[in-house]
Amino acid sequence: MARLAHKMAIENEHVMADVVEVNEFLHLAQKYAIRGVPKTVINESVEFVGNVSEAQFLAHIQRAAESSDKEQDSKQ
């Protein structure tokens, strides 16, 4: 998942990817309720555990973007 996320970040300036070693950053493990790895969190709104296909990953990104758009619209 990390490789795919970083690949997308390289290709698109609107995408940022970070990989965190939860054993070294316990506060993040607690914040995101890490119970399995890999765990992916997108825009604090979409989360999933495990490896997924590129198509599934893109679908998760789209869901997160739509959620972010709705949130911005409600603030206006």
Model pLDDT, residue 70: 74
Give per-residue pLDDT as tens, 13-52: 988 999 999 999 999 999 999 999 999 999 999 999 999 9
Choice between 20 and 67, residue whose per-residue pLDDT is larger: 20
- Is 70 exceeded by the pLDDT of residue 66? yes
Query: Would you kindly state where each structural domain of the chain is located, as residue ranges?
Result: 2-75
- For 61-73, the three-class secondary structure string (H helix, E strand, C coil) is HHHHHHHHHHHHH
Model pLDDT, residue 1: 86
Domain 2-75: CATH architecture, name and number where available: 3-Layer(aba) Sandwich (3.40)
- Is 70 exceeded by the pLDDT of residue 76? no
CB atoms within 10 A of CB 42: 19
